[in-house]
């Protein structure tokens, strides 16, 4: 008599950033688990996990159930069972942790709460369309403070005071955090205030009148890697350590639930090799539907080079500065919310020095350090005579007062003055920084109207940077990939939170990273023109468009603007310094 072949149950959780896999044997014991970031390349990640599983266990027979925000699309195409991740997590808690009364899960882009009561169906709550109270919110605030999340946790442990911070949205929180930084509040107190805001947001938005009954099970990466976050949750909920659970395998809770449910939800059994083939086929077939895609930005490297050669690229005149004799110069500074830019010009209007640095939450210190760097750059700094100085930007008042600048100028005027150097007949100026966006409409050489973004940062530099980091690519590489994407995704004009959903959908449909990157380039332009400016007629922009800001070092965005407006666009060789350049011009002209 032939021995019965062992049948395994596999649970796969494909989220927006990671893929988790658990294999249980017939007794429910975990015999394999794997946790990997997929960087939007599901096919390669799945192949690597299945290969590792095969090397350890052979070509096993299995039943498979999927879950996760990206897993739904793959389950549909592969014709495999799908279980909503909160349902899967609830199953694990009921079977493995019967003492739990409340389950709190926080992921990269969502948060969940489940209430368990004997004899009743679990009450399941999830956050809606806002990323407040999620791991992404914590990542954003860590970036604003110039630290990683581990350092944010260390800072929070040393805090003394909690301050109110809005956790509804990254945009509102940045305003509160920047205000605290300008008041010289310690980063330790700000870090702890962020964790407190997250705890308050999750409890307020998900509990909604329900009692949070111990034991409380904490699940998800933020809880696993940020002990201070869990401490603030305990404080808000008035819980002791003995009333909480956070097991070592918490990241596998939904995947484990899928595996536990496989005998009920799973369909036909299959071999591991057949599962891999099915996954490959589904990825290949989905990638072939381009009916909703946009036109390529460039069809070839040759076309890109021809475009670059044909551009009206304004090169800011520069020269080496001989400091062996006294030389008159003019200093322009753009003190922004996240970066500080410095430009030094001689009396001929030639650039002799420039610098660009992140503030790391301290505009004063950033500029002070840049002055020391400028001083050390020249052999005889004592011979540099600053005849006039001008500052613009978020930190204008602070820098002007602290360093006794001669002039201060509003950002729009500084950018307008720089734009006239690029194109004397400029009709429209679009400046996109890390967190803000400015549009200047010009008529007969004078500013006719100005528009700025207010409560939304979508379409700004941080918007692109966030998604480039999520997909594990430097921003410059992400931009280069976008230029040659064959089938750019149409991601629409949406805020960062909703854009995450569009990206997940594109990933489910098998879109490449290149096509997603190009989609972002189009979306930045759509957000600027139609969401912020609310343009009804492209002719409002005129025929002489100038773009500025570090975002426009990304040539794919410049090209997307041209394709969408049908206009030629001009830019300088240092778009990120144009605010400081305009300030230096103002100082020279008004001296």
Buried b or exposed e, range 152-181, using 16+ CB within 10 angstroms? bbebbeebeebbebbbebbbebbebbbebb
Nearest-angstrom CA–CA distance, 23 and 326: 75
Q: In CATH, which of 3.40.50.720, 3.30.420.40, 3.30.360.10, 3.40.50.620 is domain 317-408? A: 3.30.420.40
Q: Which tokens hold the place of 92?
A: 């694990």
Nearest-angstrom CA–CA distance, 254 and 268: 22
* Domain boundaries 92-247, corresponding CATH code: 3.30.420.40
What architecture is domain 7-80+266-286? 2-Layer Sandwich (3.30)
Per-residue model confidence as pLDDT tens for the chain (591 residues): 344 578 999 999 998 778 999 999 999 999 999 998 887 778 889 999 999 999 999 999 999 999 987 888 788 888 899 998 888 999 999 999 999 999 998 877 678 899 998 888 888 887 755 555 677 778 777 877 778 888 999 999 999 999 887 655 555 566 677 778 767 888 899 999 989 988 888 888 888 778 899 999 998 878 888 899 999 999 999 999 899 998 888 889 999 999 999 998 766 799 999 998 888 777 665 555 566 688 999 999 999 999 988 876 778 888 888 888 999 999 999 998 778 999 999 999 999 999 999 887 678 999 999 999 999 999 999 999 999 999 999 889 999 999 999 999 998 899 999 999 999 999 999 988 766 778 899 988 888 888 876 555 555 666 677 677 767 788 888 888 899 999 898 887 655 555 666 776 677 677 888 998 898 888 888 878 877 777 778 888 888 999 998 888 889 999 999 998 888 899 998 999 999 999 999 999 998
Q: Which tokens hold the place of 94?
A: 């009921």
User: What distance, in Å, lies between the first and last C-alpha atoms of the chain?
Assistant: 100
pTM, rounded to two decimals? 0.63
The DSSP-derived string for 374-431 is HHHHSS-GGGEEEEEEEEESTTHHHHHHHHT-SEE--HHHHHHHHHHHH-TT--EEEE
User: What strand order describes the sheet that includes 384-392?
Assistant: 351-358, 339-346, 327-335, 384-392, 407-408
Indicate the domain borders of the chain: 7-80+266-286, 92-247, 301-312+417-578, 317-408
Nearest-angstrom CA–CA distance, 111 and 9: 27
Q: What is the dihedral of CA 320, 323, 326, 331, to 10 degrees?
A: 60
What architecture is domain 301-312+417-578? 2-Layer Sandwich (3.30)
């Amino acid at each position: 008599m032939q021995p019965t072949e062992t049948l395994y149950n596999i649970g796969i959780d494909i989220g927006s950033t990671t893929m988790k896999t658990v294999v249980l044997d017939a007794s429910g014991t975990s015999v394999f688990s794997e946790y990997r970031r997929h960087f939007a390349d599901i096919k390669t990640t799945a192949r690597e996990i299945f290969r590792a599983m095969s090397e350890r266990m052979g070509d096993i027979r299995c039943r498979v159930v999927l879950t996760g925000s990206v897993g739904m699309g793959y389950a549909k195409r592969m014709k495999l069972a799908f279980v909503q991740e909160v349902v899967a997590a609830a199953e694990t808690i009921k079977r493995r942790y019967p003492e739990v009364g409340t389950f709190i899960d926080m992921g990269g882009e969502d948060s969940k709460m489940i209430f368990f009561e004997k004899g009743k169906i679990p009450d399941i709550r999830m956050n809606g369309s806002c990323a407040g109270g999620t791991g992404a919110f914590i990542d954003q605030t860590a970036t604003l403070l110039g630290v990683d999340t581990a350092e944010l946790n260390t800072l929070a442990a040393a805090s003394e005071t909690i301050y109110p911070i809005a956790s509804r949205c990254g945009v509102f929180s940045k305003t509160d955090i920047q205000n605290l930084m300008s008041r010289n509040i310690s980063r330790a107190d700000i870090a702890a205030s962020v964790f407190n805001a997250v705890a308050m947001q999750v409890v307020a938005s998900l509990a909604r009148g329900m009692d949070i009954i111990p034991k409380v099970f904490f699940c998800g990466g933020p809880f696993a890697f940020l002990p201070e976050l869990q401490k603030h949750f305990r404080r808000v909920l008035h819980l002791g350590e003995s009333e909480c659970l956070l097991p070592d395998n918490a990241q596998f809770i939904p995947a484990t639930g899928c595996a536990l449910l496989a005998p009920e939800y799973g369909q036909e059994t299959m071999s591991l090799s057949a599962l891999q083939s099915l996954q490959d086929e589904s990825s290949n077939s989905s990638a072939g539907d381009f009916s909703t895609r946009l036109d390529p930005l460039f069809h070839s490297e040759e076309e890109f080079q021809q475009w670059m050669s044909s551009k009206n690229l304004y090169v800011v005149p520069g020269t080496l500065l001989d400091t062996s004799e006294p030389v008159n110069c003019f200093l322009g500074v753009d003190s922004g919310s996240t970066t500080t830019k410095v430009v030094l010009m001689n009396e001929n209007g030639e650039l002799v020095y420039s610098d660009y640095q992140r503030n790391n939450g301290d505009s004063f210190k950033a500029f002070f350090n840049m002055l020391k760097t400028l001083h050390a750059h020249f052999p005889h700094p004592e011979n540099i005579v600053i005849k006039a100085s001008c500052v613009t930007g978020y930190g204008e008042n602070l820098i002007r007062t602290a360093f006794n600048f001669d002039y201060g100028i509003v950002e729009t005027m500084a950018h307008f003055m720089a734009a006239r150097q690029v194109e004397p007949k400029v009709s429209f100026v679009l400046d996109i920084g890390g967190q803000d966006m400015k549009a200047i409409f010009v008529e007969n050489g004078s500013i006719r109207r100005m528009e700025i973004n207010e409560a939304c940062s979508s379409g700004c530099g941080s918007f692109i940077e966030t998604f480039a980091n999520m997909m594990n690519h430097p921003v410059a590489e992400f931009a280069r990939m976008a230029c040659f994407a064959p089938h750019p995704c149409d991601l629409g004009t949406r805020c960062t939170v909703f854009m995450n959903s569009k990206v997940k959908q594109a990933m489910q449909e098998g879109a490449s990273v290149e096509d997603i990157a190009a989609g972002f380039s189009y979306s930045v332009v759509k957000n600027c023109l139609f969401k912020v400016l609310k343009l009804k007629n492209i002719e409002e922009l005129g025929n002489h468009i100038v773009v500025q800001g570090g975002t426009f070092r990304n040539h794919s965005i410049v090209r997307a603007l041209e394709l969408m407006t049908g206009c030629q666009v001009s830019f300088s060789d240092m778009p990120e310094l144009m605010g400081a350049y305009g300030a230096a011009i103002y100082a020279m002209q008004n001296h």
